[in-house]
């Protein structure tokens, strides 16, 4: 059963309950209203008669009218007037004996009476109520006829209104049903921005994110295939040359470099896929200077400036080396030459997008992709990788650290994503600022406290 059918059935059932409740309330309200009106009229009349008897004007009392009968009872409950033995609107003796100077009602099957004590007797007025039953029966029948008419008419209106109101939901459900792994286009929705509209909007956002992720993965797989094909082809060529000339040390060294590059690329892929950069941090007391010397040494021509005695940090040396290597490798690729890349190391009070470089000054404004964040007040170790390349385009900056995102200089789009994971896994931060002719990646790592050193 569809949602539309269940909703229509629920509303029809609610409509039936409303009609039944309306019928009951209307019928009993009219019936009780008529009985109450008769009781109030009789109470006023008996009070008036009691006052006449009390004032000695009993002769002015009209003991029988067209609708109301006036009767007198002794204090023991005997009917005094009228003396007609066939008079049917009698009040039982036990009620008469309990009479007081306050009017009291008595309800019988076919009449209502109100009685009150007067000097030496009990006076009562009564009225036949069978006409009320006739009126109530006619009203009940009229209500039943009206209900029999309104029930199908109302049900038709409910069906029509529900179908019209649920058209956007029905269309959205059909659109969702057409979606699949190969169809992630947005759902077309023309209804108001109510709960359904918000739901469709969220689904469209999810579809858009899935589509973008699929496109990124496709581009990533194509790029990885290309990146792996090139070094493997070169490695295969070098190995063939070595097979012909095993003593060619130059070919052997090139083969080793290509193999090392390919191994690092595969390690990056595995680390990113497994999230190892975030989870597997084997912390040691690390001299950051030693890490940076090793990373810079892999790229001859990159300059390194740092203090002679640099404080230590608590971290994973392998991960920190991977972080520094990724930043230096990206900088060399962006600048086009290792001589255009500089690495600077110093201490900083807190992370910032434009840290003070103790070795030089930079006054020109840079574009940043990392908003200023409040950091803990503690000493930080800072190292910056600066290149003299063309800079990073502003439209690339927001997704610079996104997985599979690639800049104009090429690459697999993994290095910066992994570098950011490693920095954050060590409790640090990575910031980037760029302008034409200079791009600066700055990593901030908490310095090892003196208590920890001891």
* Domain ranges for the chain: 3-150, 195-273, 282-453
Residue 442 pairs in a beta bridge with 384, 431
Average pLDDT over residues 266-292: 71
Average pLDDT over residues 214-239: 73
The rounded distance, in Å, linking the Cα atoms of 180 and 189 is: 18
Crossing angle between the packed helical segments 415-425 and 249-274, to the nearest 10 degrees: 60
Answer for the pair 45, 62: CB distance below 8 angstroms, yes or no: no
Does residue 15 carry a pLDDT above 70? yes
Average pLDDT over residues 288-314: 86
Percent of the chain with pLDDT over 70: 80
The edge-to-edge listing of strands for the beta sheet with 111-118 is 79-81, 68-73, 121-128, 111-118, 104-107
Question: Domain 195-273, what fold?
Answer: Helix Hairpins (1.10.287)
* Residue 452 pLDDT: 46
Does residue 106 carry a pLDDT above 90? yes
Q: Would 195-273 and 282-453 be classified into the same CATH topology?
A: no
Question: What pLDDT, in 10s, does the model give residues 182-225?
Answer: 777 777 777 777 777 788 888 888 888 888 777 767 766 776 67
Question: Domain 282-453, what fold?
Answer: Heat Shock Protein 90 (3.30.565)
**Tokens for 218?**
């496709």
Verdict on whether the full-model pTM lies above 0.75: no
Closest by CA position to 389, among listed 444, 344, 321, 329: 329
Q: Is pLDDT larger for residue 268 or for residue 404?
A: 268
* Residue 377 pLDDT: 58
Average pLDDT over residues 343-357: 72
Average pLDDT over residues 299-327: 85
Does residue 373 carry a pLDDT above 50? no
> Going by C-beta distance under 8 Å and a sequence separation of 6 or more, which residues neighbour residue 356?
348
**Radius of gyration, alpha carbons of the chain:** 49
Q: Is pLDDT larger for residue 189 or for residue 417?
A: 417
Q: Is 379 helix (H, G, I), strand (E, B) or coil?
A: coil
CATH number of the domain located at residue range(s) 3-150 in this protein: 3.30.450
Average pLDDT of the chain to the nearest whole number: 79
* Residue 226 pLDDT: 63
Within a 10 A sphere around the Cβ of 322, how many other Cβ atoms? 22
Question: What pLDDT, in 10s, does the model give residues 20-74?
Answer: 898 889 888 988 899 999 999 999 988 988 888 877 765 555 555 557 888 889 9
Does residue 401 carry a pLDDT above 90? no
Q: How confident is the model at residue 367 (pLDDT cuts 50, 70, 90)?
A: very low
Could you say which DSSP state residue 369 is in? S
What DSSP assignment string belongs to 152-194?
Answer: HHHHHHHHHHHHHHTHHHHHHHHHHHH-BTTB-PPPP--S-SS
* Residue 111 pLDDT: 92
Percent of the chain with pLDDT over 90: 12
Q: Is pLDDT larger for residue 349 or for residue 111?
A: 111
The rounded distance, in Å, linking the Cα atoms of 41 and 43 is: 5
* Residue 302 pLDDT: 92
Does residue 351 carry a pLDDT above 50? yes
Cis preceding linkage at 25, omega within 30: no
The rounded distance, in Å, linking the Cα atoms of 215 and 334 is: 24
* Residue 273 pLDDT: 59
Does residue 242 carry a pLDDT above 50? yes
Does residue 127 carry a pLDDT above 70? yes
* Residue 453 pLDDT: 47
Question: What pLDDT, in 10s, does the model give residues 151-169?
Answer: 888 888 888 887 777 777 7
């Amino acid at each position: 059963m569809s949602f539309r059918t269940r909703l229509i059935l629920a509303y029809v059932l609610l409509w039936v309950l409303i009609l039944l409740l309306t019928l009951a309330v209307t019928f009993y309200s009219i019936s009780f209203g008529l009985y109450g009106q008769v009781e109030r009229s009789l109470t006023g009349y008996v009070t008036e008669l009691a006052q006449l008897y009390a004032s000695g004007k009993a002769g002015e009392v009209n003991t029988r009218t067209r609708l109301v009968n006036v009767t007198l009872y002794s204090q023991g409950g005997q009917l005094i007037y009228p003396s007609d033995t066939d008079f049917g609107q009698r009040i039982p003796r036990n009620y008469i004996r309990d009479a007081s100077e306050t009017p009291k009602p008595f309800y019988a099957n076919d009449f209502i009476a109100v009685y009150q004590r007067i000097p030496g007797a009990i006076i009562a007025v009564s009225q036949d109520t069978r006409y009320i039953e006739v009126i109530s029966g006619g009203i009940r029948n009229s209500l039943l006829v009206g209900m029999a008419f309104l029930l199908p008419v109302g049900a038709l209106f409910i069906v029509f209104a529900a179908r019209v109101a649920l058209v956007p939901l029905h269309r959205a459900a059909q659109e969702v049903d057409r979606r699949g792994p190969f169809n992630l286009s947005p759902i077309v929705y023309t209804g108001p921005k109510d709960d359904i509209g918000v739901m469709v909007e969220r689904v469209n956002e999810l579809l858009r994110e899935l589509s973008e992720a699929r496109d990124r993965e496709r581009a990533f797989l194509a790029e990885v295939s290309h990146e792996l094909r090139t070094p493997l082809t070169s490695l295969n060529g070098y190995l063939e040359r070595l097979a012909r000339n095993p003593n060619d040390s130059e070919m052997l060294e090139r083969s080793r470099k290509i193999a090392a590059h390919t191994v690092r690329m595969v390690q990056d892929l595995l680390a990113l896929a497994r999230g190892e950069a975030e989870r597997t941090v084997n912390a040691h007391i690390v001299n950051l200077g030693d890490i940076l010397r090793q990373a810079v040494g892999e790229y001859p021509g990159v300059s390194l400036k740092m203090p002679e005695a640099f404080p230590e940090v608590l971290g994973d040396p392998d991960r920190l080396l991977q972080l520094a290597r990724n930043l230096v490798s990206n900088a060399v690729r962006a600048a086009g030459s290792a001589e255009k890349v500089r690495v600077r190391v110093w201490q900083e009070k807190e992370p910032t997008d434009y840290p003070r470089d103790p070795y030089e000054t930079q006054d020109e404004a840079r574009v940043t992709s990392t908003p200023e964040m409040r950091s803990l007040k503690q000493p930080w170790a800072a190292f910056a990788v600066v290149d003299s390349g063309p800079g990073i385009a502003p439209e690339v900056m927001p997704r610079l650290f996104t997985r599979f995102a690639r800049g104009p200089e090429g690459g697999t789009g993994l290095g910066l994503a992994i570098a950011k994971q490693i920095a954050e896994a060590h409790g640090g931060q990575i910031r980037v600022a760029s302008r034409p002719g200079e791009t600066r990646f700055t990593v901030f790592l908490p310095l090892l406290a003196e208590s920890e050193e001891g």
